[in-house]
Amino acid sequence: MRKKIVAGNWKMNKNLAETGNLLGELKGRVDQIDNVEVIVAPTFTNLYYSFEQLRETTITVAAQNMHQAANGAFTGEISADMLKSIGVETVILGHSERRAHFGETDAILKEKVVTAIQKEMTVIFCFGEELNDRKSDKHFDLVASQLKNALFDLDKSAWSQIILAYEPVWAIGTGETASPKQAQEMHAFIRKTIAKAFDQQIADQVSILYGGSVKPANAKEIFAKQDVDGGLIGGAALDAESFEAIVRAI
């Protein structure tokens, strides 16, 4: 059975006090929920505090990014060891905002994934097409190449540490969602692509999350699809009530 997962990507939102408030609410709402793994990704400055706050709960803390090098002269960057030393063992890599605003290419992401896997972290690997790609019917090719370039040189054994998050860029923060049918179609394609490159068992085991304007009103329909194993939630994860509603929609 594949794991069902709902992860909240808080992006560059919530200062320390606000983080404390949201975590306090989440502890009362989404701790110990059967059959769903709940993950939250606060900003770097609040990661250790979040880990401490959630230590006794079933909610996992993830980072939103990390550097590919082990350490060294990379001013402003954060390493896998630093994350692990504060209890953070999961990292989001490849988010479209990192790709678009911070120049993260498939090649860089490949290095980041390799480092995270070597450091025994879990990776939530994000990818997805832009509107142009979909309009010109290149979305399947684009997604296949993002997966291939960053992930297909991994050993089979690495896949137990990978969670995939398909996030069509045109649906992120726009209020525009892929229809449940579009999401299912792409998720099935992703699974098939992984089965071809690795094997069916790996393809069947990997959790594939959908991300892009998931809200309480549309979560159930999207999560009901066979190859959708949960969601990566941005805006709606910043409010405890709506995040809980999405978690309970699984």
CB of 3 to ligand PGA, least distance (A): 18
Pick the catalytic residue from 37, 67, 89, 95.
95
> Contacting ligand PGA (CB under 6 A), which of 235, 240, 247, 249?
235
The answer to whether residue 25 is catalytic is no
The answer to whether residue 52 is catalytic is no
Binding-residue pattern over the window 168 to 207 for ligand PGA, x denoting contact by CB under 6 A: ----xx----------------------------------
Task: Please provide residue 138's backbone torsions phi and psi, each rounded to the nearest 5 degrees.
Answer: -105, 10
Whether the Cβ atoms of residue 123 and residue 116 lie closer than 8 Å to each other = yes
Task: Select from 78-86, 156-164, 165-173, 183-191 the region that touches ligand PGA (CB under 6 A).
Answer: 165-173
CB of 52 to ligand PGA, least distance (A): 25
Q: Angle at Cα 158 formed by Cα 222 and Cα 3, nearest 5°?
A: 30
Binding flag, residue 233, ligand PGA (CB under 6 A) = yes
CB of 144 to ligand PGA, least distance (A): 21
> Contacting ligand PGA (CB under 6 A), which of 4, 9, 222, 240?
9
**Which lies closer to ligand PGA via its Cβ, residue 66 or residue 202?**
66
Whether the Cβ atoms of residue 20 and residue 46 lie closer than 8 Å to each other = no
What's the distance, Cα to Cα, between the start and end of the chain in Å? 14
Number of residues that bind ligand PGA (CB under 6 A): 13
Q: Max CA-CA distance within the chain?
A: 48
**Which lies closer to ligand PGA via its Cβ, residue 79 or residue 97?**
97
Question: Which tokens hold the place of 244?
Answer: 């809980």
Whether the Cβ atoms of residue 152 and residue 197 lie closer than 8 Å to each other = yes
Whether the Cβ atoms of residue 194 and residue 147 lie closer than 8 Å to each other = yes
CA distance 201 to 51: 33
**Which lies closer to ligand PGA via its Cβ, residue 198 or residue 211?**
211
Question: Which tokens hold the place of 223?
Answer: 């999560």
Instruction: Give the side-chain half-sphere CA count within 13 A for 238.
Output: 12
Q: Which parts of this chain interact with ligand PGA (CB under 6 A)?
A: 9, 167, 172-173, 211-214, 232-236
Which residues are annotated as catalytic?
95, 167
